[in-house]
Amino acid sequence: MEWIWMIRDEQIIAIKQYVKQLFELDVTGHDFYHMKRVANTAKSIAESENANIFLCEAAAWLHDVGDHKLFQQPKRVMKEMNLFLKTISISDDEVEKINAIIQNISFSKGNIPETLEGKIVQDADRLDAIGAVGIARTFAYGGANGQLIYSEVYQDTSIQHFYDKLLRLKDKMNTERAKQLATERHQFMEQFLEQFHKEW
């Protein structure tokens, strides 16, 4: 069994480097460190849920590859990713599973993935959208997309995004571990919003 884990480690290192060159210059909250946090969280949830750790970690690193918000040619990017995965000896079956997870996360964010691994990566991505990091990413994304912080006139603001989406994520977590992790982050967002409105 030992050699399998050596190969696994090398595959994860190669995936990390691949992801780094793709997302290094992102300023919308989808940078390399978003992928790193999601990968670490997915790995830790996978351990407590007895899921396939390698699939969760690999798919989490790659979960924003081909996202239509971030890439002009999503299909080409996905195709290149699949070719890359084959060059590092990831089996066709695993490439397919990784693709299924990514598609569930990136293209239909409202859907509940069918597999446990998909559910875990979705949880990990959602956890990174809430809490202190989630707050920072919301304003980075808003700024990069020409959105106001807040307005007394317009509805479409970064602050509104908390009410429309972020405050609802806590109740949408799939796994028990993610529900636990979401509680503290959710409370912090509520505290932040209260303070924000007080200062405003």
The phi and psi torsions of 148 (rounded to 5 degrees) equal -70, 155
Tell me how far CA of residue 141 lies from CA of 62, 137, 148, in angstroms: 19, 6, 11
Which residue's CB is nearer to Ni ion, number 87 or number 126? Answer: 126
Our CA angle for 109, 179, 102, nearest 5°, is: 30
- Stretch touching Ni ion by CB under 5 A, among 124-132, 145-153, 164-172, 174-182: 124-132
Partners of residue 119 on adjacent β-strands = none
**Least distance CB 181 / Ni ion (angstroms):** 16
Contact 109, 169 (CB under 8 A): no
Query: Does residue 125 bind Ni ion (CB under 5 A)?
Result: yes
Alpha carbons 192 and 92: distance in angstroms, whole number: 45
**Least distance CB 64 / Ni ion (angstroms):** 5
Query: Does residue 123 bind Ni ion (CB under 5 A)?
Result: no
DSSP state of 89: T
**Least distance CB 13 / Ni ion (angstroms):** 21
**Binding-site residue total for Ni ion (CB under 5 A)?**
2
- Stretch touching Ni ion by CB under 5 A, among 13-21, 59-67, 75-83, 169-177: 59-67
Q: Of 142, 179, 186, whose CA–CA distance to 160 is shortest? A: 142
Binding mask 135-174 for Ni ion (x = CB under 5 A): ----------------------------------------
> What does the binding site for Ni ion look like in residue numbers (CB under 5 A)?
64, 125
